[in-house]
Structure 1
Amino acid sequence: MKKTPERIEALAAEYVLGSLRGAARRRFEQWMMESTRVRREVWFWEEKLGDLARDVPENQPPASVWNNIERRLWGAQEQPGKPARGIGRWFWPSWSMLATAAVLVLAVVLIQQPKPTGEQLSGAIVQANLEDPLWLVSESGTENLLKLRSVAASAAEAGKDYELWVVPENGQPLSLGVIPAGGVHRVRLSDEAREALSRSRTLAISLEPTGGSPTGAPTGPILHVTKLYSL
Structure 2
Amino acid sequence: MTYSEDHIALAAEYALGTLDADERAQVETMMAIDRDFTAIVQAWEFRLGVLNQMVGSVEPRPIVWENIKAAIEHSEPQAPLVLPEAAPVASVAVEQAPVVDNSNVIQLSNRFRRWRSIAMTASAIAAALVAMLAIEVYQPALLPEGIRPKPRTQVVEVKTPSTAAPSAQYVAVLQAQGGSPAFILTVDGATRNFTVRRVGAAAEPGKSYELWLISDKLPRPRSLGVIGGGDFTTRAVLASYDSDVVNGATYAVTIEQPGGSPDGNPHSAPVYAGKLIETVPSASQPPR
Q: TM-score range by the shorter chain?
A: 0.3 to 0.5
Relative contact order, CA 8 A, sep 6+: which one is greater? Answer: 1
Higher strand share: 1
TM-score relative to the length of structure 2: 0.36
Higher helix share: 1
TM-score relative to the length of structure 1: 0.45
For the pair shown, the structure with the greater C-alpha radius of gyration is: 2
